[in-house]
Structure 1
Amino acid sequence: MNPADQADDPRPQPPPEPDPGECCGNGCDPCIYDLYNDQLAYYRAALAAWQARHPDT
C-alpha cells in the first residue's frame, strides 16, 4: 500500500485513559472505566484489522 492510500486509512488511536478523579467510586453502571474498557476493546479490534490491511507497517 502506498503512502497516499495510508492517508485515507489512518492507524487507529487508543482511547484516552480516564483520570482517576473521573470515577466517583459509587459503583455506577456503567462506570467510566467500563466505558473505557469497551472503547479499548473496540480499539484493539480496529487496530488488528488495520494491521491486517497494512502488514508492512
Structure 2
Amino acid sequence: MTLEKPTRPADFECCEGQCSPCVWDTYFEEMNAWNAAQKAAKAAEQAALDKPETNTESSTD
C-alpha cells in the first residue's frame, strides 16, 4: 500500500493564532509518517532483491 504524499497547507490555511494542532503540525506529522512508510517500502523492496532465489522446480530423474 502506497500512501499519497501529504499536501502542503496553503498560506491562508494557517491563521498564525497558535492553534493546537496547527495545520502545520498536522502536515509535519503526516510527512513524517509518509517518509517512514517510503523508507520501509524501499527497505522491503531492497530486502526482496537481496534475498537469494530458491529453486522451486523439483526434478524427477
Tell me the TM-score normalized by structure 1. 0.71
**Residue 28 of structure 2 corresponds to residue 37 of structure 1:** yes
Which runs of 5 or more residues in structure 2 are unaligned? 50-61
What is the count of residue pairs matched by the alignment? Answer: 47
Tell me the TM-score normalized by structure 2. 0.67
* Match of residue 12 from structure 2: 21
Which structure 1 residue ranges, 4+ long, deviate > 6 Å from structure 2? Answer: none
Query: 1:12 Cα deviation (Å)?
Result: 3.4
> What is the aligned-residue RMSD (CA, Å)?
1.5
* Match of residue 58 from structure 2: none
Matches within 5 A, 1:44-55: 44-55=35-46
Q: Whose relative contact order is higher, 1 or 2, with alpha carbons under 8 Å and at least 6 apart? A: 1
Q: Larger C-alpha radius of gyration, 1 or 2?
A: 2
